[in-house]
Amino acid sequence: MDLQAILQLVINGVLGGAVYSLAALGLALIFGVSGVLNLAHGEFLMLGGFFAFLGYDRLGINPFVLVFIVPPVFFVLGYAFERVMIRPLALRKEHVRLASATLVTLGAALIFEDVAAFASLGTEFDKSIGYFIGSLTVGTLVLPSLKLIMFGLVVLLMAQLAWFLKYTYVGLAVQAVTQSRRGAQLSGVNVAAINGIAFGLGTFLAAAAGALEVIHSSVNPLVGLPLTLKYLCIIVMGGLGSFAGVTLGGMIIGLSESIVGYFTPAWGQTVAYLLLVGILLIRPKGLLGR
């Protein structure tokens, strides 16, 4: 195995992991603030990918520009989703609320999946933007510039998120509610509004990941639930409530899929779940969980 192959595997793994982390951060944000397992999260990624595809295919907009246009639309969608579907459940008893939220988000996932499948009847099933830019050559190494640009975008989005959480009032309120709902409420944080904003932000991140996903691979109506499951793995592995942990979890999954998949393709997808169970055995609260 030469250097070039190793480099390719690492680049693919890091990029895959970065996109995973981005969407998983959204899910972790939603879970942290509202305590809701949002089973429809992967569907928002799928829809984000669809919108980006349509923007490129019908309107001819540059796919990298779409990564910045599509997510804000989904912020509004996510906010509305919380307002209509999740907020009415807020006053129920803890385990009843968990059950109701599971039903509501599961039902929503089924609706999104089926409507997307219905809307794409008669067109191609897998939506993908066949975008191509020439590779960079550094010395003897060939670097895929498309993937480097995408990686840069993910890092940019994450840096924005980190800045937002650390230096704005709303971001600090999001963190406060994640740490202690009651404590935040007592200090005058409008918890209901923060819930809505967290859903909006989480959905924003899922849509951004979806818009990136259609550039380097593809999105179809059925990817939602399996992806949600993978993000759930990532945030549990990294430790719920720890954003660094989520990023680490995403990277571990991305790299392990890429590297194990190279040697034994069949086990590439399995390793994520094996790792999850293994890590939980040693650290029940995840790698960086408290």
Partner 1 sequence: MRRHPPTLRALLLPGAVVLGVLALPWLPADSRIYYMQELTMGFLYAGLAQSYDLVGGLLGYINLGHIVFFGLGAYTTGILFNLGVPLIGGLAASILVAGAFAALISIPFFRLRGAYFSLATFALVKLMEHVTDNLRDLTGGSSGLKILAGNRVLPMYYVTLALLAAAMATSWAVGRSRLGLGMKSIREDEGVARDFGVPTTRIKAQALVISTVLPAALGGLFTWYINFINPGEVFGLKLALQPVAMAMLGGSGLVIGPLIGTAFLYGLEELIWTRFEFLQGAMLGLVVVLVGLFMPGGIARLKGVERALERLGLKEDDS
List of residues contacting partner 1 (CB under 8 A): 31, 35, 37, 85, 88-89, 92, 94-96, 98-104, 106-111, 113-115, 117-118, 225-226, 229-230, 232-233, 235-236, 240, 266-267, 269-270, 273-274, 276-277, 280-281, 284-285
- CA separation for the pair 253, 16 (Å, rounded): 8
Nearer to partner 1, 117 or 136 (CB): 117
Q: Are 33 and 198 in contact (CB under 8 A)?
A: yes
Q: How many CB atoms lie within 10 A of CB 270?
A: 14
Nearer to partner 1, 11 or 275 (CB): 275
Nearer to partner 1, 11 or 229 (CB): 229
- CA separation for the pair 35, 25 (Å, rounded): 14
Q: What's the sign of the alpha-carbon dihedral 6, 8, 10, 16?
A: negative
- CA separation for the pair 98, 221 (Å, rounded): 26
Q: How far is the CB of 113 from partner 1 (least distance, A)?
A: 6
E-strand ranges in 167-266 read none
Q: How far is the CB of 179 from partner 1 (least distance, A)?
A: 16
Q: How far is the CB of 271 from partner 1 (least distance, A)?
A: 9
Nearer to partner 1, 58 or 95 (CB): 95
Q: How far is the CB of 236 from partner 1 (least distance, A)?
A: 5
Q: Are 209 and 22 in contact (CB under 8 A)?
A: yes
The enclosing H or E element of 41 equals: helix 41-59
Nearer to partner 1, 110 or 158 (CB): 110
Q: How far is the CB of 189 from partner 1 (least distance, A)?
A: 22
